[in-house]
Amino acid sequence: MNKQNIYSRIYEIIYLIPHGKVATYGQIARLVSLPNGARQVGYALHKLKEGTDVPWFRVINRKGQISFPPDTTAASLQRSLLESEGVIFDTNNTIDLKKYQWKRFK
DNA sequence: CTCGTGACGGTAT
DNA sequence: TATACCGCCACGA
């Protein structure tokens, strides 16, 4: 299992996240057999180029928040993309994971 | 090879 | 329940 495959698998998993749903970094890490590799998932997304097909914006952290400082363009973009899919943010820039988190089907 | 860094998360407090 | 620590692990200097 080399790193290239790891990244590819991370992207494949992300493609599986349904419209209007989200997944956490840790959840994806577990799906690619890296129980403690949440940071690697973040790194994999960090490498993505700008016009990528990967729905990276559907990946958020465990707190139900976007993993970018709230006042950055990247954060506002991600938030806009999610809101366009029906995801609602509360006054704390947080979403209800219980409601939007993608339930893996194995 | 060692060291610091980061789109994170689990656990202790 | 909300924070604070600190462990993870691949990358790049």
**CB proximity A3–strand C (7 Å threshold):** yes
**H/E segment holding residue A24:** strand A23-24
* pLDDT tens-place string over residues A7-32: 999 999 999 999 999 999 999 999 99
**Whose C1' is closest to the CA of A59: which nucleotide?**
B7
**Å from A13 (CA) to B13 (C1')?**
35
Mean pLDDT, rounded, for A57-74: 96
**Whose C1' is closest to the CA of A3: which nucleotide?**
C10
* pLDDT tens-place string over residues A34-45: 999 999 999 999
Q: Which nucleotides of chain C does any protein CB come within 7 A of?
A: 7-11
Q: What is the pLDDT of residue A91?
A: 95
Q: What is the pLDDT of residue A106?
A: 53
Q: Per-residue DSSP letters for A42-105? A: HHHHHT--TT--S-GGGEE-TTSB-SS-TTSHHHHHHHHHHHTTTPPP-TTSB--HHHHB----
